């Protein structure tokens, strides 16, 4: 990862002396939260919401700054940093890449980028710095992507737009080769799914709940409670491949396969490599003032021998009604994991569902008000190891004021 960030930092650092324009954009989200849940995962608990009754109140949800620089006619650089008041260092890098956009010679347009970035999967996170625009929280799928997954590598995409050739069909193909992200699956296995909008920094340590399996006398004592998602441990390359289809501007379909190809027997400095792979489907349709979107994911992750392993899945359906400067969204989530390992003292299966109702009022071009209520019910036997009830119901009410520049 350091090798990929060095040229990007040099590019942005030399942009000003070369009189190249740097465009700054971003968002600030200040919110009031009332939450009722067990100890949140952001405080090393097994609660599934970002906030609980001990860390709710007035909070800084996001403070994101994005810098874009045109380095040449077809080359640009982008860097995104994020601040939130739960992070020990407050500010961290979330994305940084160089992009090459050659001028197309035909109907196909090619783009190549290298660095650290989110895979092009989310339908919800279309705001500045990969933030949601219709709700305060995101679905279980996109919550996990924001928490634990970042592509560190090179991505190439080819898109054929139908309009220039008088066709209603848009077609796209994307392929990426990446390193790092070997620990991906750690948080999903030992914490489980969540409903959140928290974006982890690439250098930020995430603290797991204190469970017996990785205590000094536990069966996986080499595993640290502090995980670092952007680590390369085994020297292997992973890959992801996606296809996209659009019809006449109102229908979008996508499919993606991800495989980090990690060696689950490798462990360094308290970090295991997890072999993680998943398939993803997405769909969005627009009809006048209505918008519907759906994403579904199914995958597998494993480490050690014997170690921890789960089959995981999640899906959501969201409907949004746009009325002038107002929008109302209703999202239904279902998620689960099935244990697939040989350590009875480490139960990692779960089942759950969540419902979110959100209202957004665009007060002005740069200002918006967001109100959201979330209720979540889940059953996770591992909570018994921490003295909590296995089945829990959690809820939160959030009112956020967002400024976008």
Q: Is 245 exposed, middle or buried (0-12, 13-18, 19+ CB in 10 A)?
A: middle
pTM listed for this prediction: 0.93
d(CA 78, CA 47): 34
pLDDT tens, position by position, 64-111: 999 999 999 999 999 999 998 888 778 999 999 999 999 988 889 999
The predicted pLDDT at position 344 comes to: 85
Cβ-contact 7, 77 below 8 angstroms: no
Q: Enumerate residues 6+ apart whose C-beta is below 8 A from 249.
A: 286
Report DSSP state, residue 144.
H
Which three-class secondary structure state does DSSP give residue 148? helix
Burial annotation 246-261 (CB, 10 A radius, 16+ → b, else e) = beeeeebebebebbbe
The predicted pLDDT at position 163 comes to: 85
d(CA 25, CA 264): 40
Q: What percent of the chain has pLDDT over 70?
A: 95
pLDDT tens, position by position, 315-359: 999 999 999 999 999 999 999 999 998 888 899 999 999 999 999
Mean pLDDT for the chain overall: 93
Cβ-contact 86, 42 below 8 angstroms: yes
HSE-CB of 303 using CA atoms within 13 angstroms: 27
The predicted pLDDT at position 10 comes to: 43
Cβ-contact 275, 260 below 8 angstroms: yes
* Res. 1: pLDDT tops 70: no
Q: Is 32 exposed, middle or buried (0-12, 13-18, 19+ CB in 10 A)?
A: middle
| 357-382 mean pLDDT | 98
Give residue 59's Cα distance to chain centre.
20
The predicted pLDDT at position 45 comes to: 95
Q: What percent of the chain has pLDDT over 90?
A: 88
d(CA 48, CA 188): 11
Cβ-contact 49, 396 below 8 angstroms: yes
| 182-205 mean pLDDT | 96
The predicted pLDDT at position 87 comes to: 82
- Token output for 382: 């591992």
- Please tell me which residue, 98 or 166, carries the higher pLDDT value: 98
Q: Is the dihedral of CA 283, 103, 5, 181 positive or negative?
A: positive
d(CA 236, CA 233): 8
d(CA 240, CA 63): 29
H or E stretch at 190: helix 186-190
* Longest CA–CA separation in the chain, Å: 67
Helix segments in 59-117, DSSP class H? none
pLDDT tens, position by position, 222-241: 999 999 999 999 999 999 99
pLDDT tens, position by position, 2-59: 544 444 544 444 444 455 789 999 999 999 999 998 899 999 999 999 999 999 999 9
Neighbours of 10 (CB within 10 A): 11
The predicted pLDDT at position 250 comes to: 94
């Amino acid at each position: 990862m350091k090798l990929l960030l060095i040229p990007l930092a040099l590019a942005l650092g030399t942009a000003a002396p070369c009189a190249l324009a740097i465009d700054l954009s971003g968002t600030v989200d200040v919110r009031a939260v009332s939450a009722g849940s067990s100890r949140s995962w952001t405080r090393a608990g097994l609660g599934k919401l970002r906030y609980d009754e001990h860390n709710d109140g007035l909070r800084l949800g996001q403070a994101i700054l994005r810098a874009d620089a045109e380095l040449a006619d077809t080359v640009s650089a982008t860097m995104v940093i994020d601040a939130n008041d739960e992070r020990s260092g407050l500010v961290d890098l979330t994305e940084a890449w160089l992009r090459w956009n050659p001028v197309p010679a035909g109907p196909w347009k090619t783009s190549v980028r290298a660095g650290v970035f989110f895979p092009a999967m989310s339908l919800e996170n279309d705001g500045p710095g990969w933030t949601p625009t219709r709700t305060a929280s995101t679905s279980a799928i996109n919550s996990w992507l924001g928490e634990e997954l970042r592509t560190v590598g090179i991505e190439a995409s080819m898109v054929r737009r139908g309009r220039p050739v008088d066709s209603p069909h848009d077609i796209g193909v994307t392929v990426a080769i990446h390193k790092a992200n070997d620990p991906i699956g750690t948080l999903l296995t030992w914490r489980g799914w969540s409903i959140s909008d928290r974006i982890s920094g690439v250098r930020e340590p995430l603290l797991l709940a204190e469970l017996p399996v990785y205590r000094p006398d536990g069966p996986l004592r080499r595993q640290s409670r502090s995980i670092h998602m952007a680590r390369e441990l085994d020297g292997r390359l992973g890959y992801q491949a996606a296809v996209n289809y659009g019809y006449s501007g109102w229908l979008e379909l996508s499919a993606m396969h991800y495989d980090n190809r990690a060696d689950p027997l490798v462990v360094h400095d308290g970090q295991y490599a997890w072999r993680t792979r998943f398939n993803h489907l997405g769909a969005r349709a627009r009809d006048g003032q209505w918008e519907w979107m759906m994403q579904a994911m199914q995958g597998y992750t494993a480490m050690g021998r014997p170690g921890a392993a789960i089959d995981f899945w999640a899906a959501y359906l969201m409907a949004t009604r746009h009325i002038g400067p107002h929008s109302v969204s209703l999202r239904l989530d279902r998620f689960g994991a099935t244990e697939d390992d040989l350590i009875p003292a480490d139960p990692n299966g779960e089942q759950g569902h969540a419902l979110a109702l959100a209202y957004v009022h665009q007060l002005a071009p740069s200002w918006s008000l967001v109100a959201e209520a979330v209720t979540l019910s889940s059953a996770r036997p591992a909570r018994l190891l921490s003295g909590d009830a296995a089945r829990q119901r959690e809820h939160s009410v959030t009112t956020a004021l967002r400024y976008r520049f």
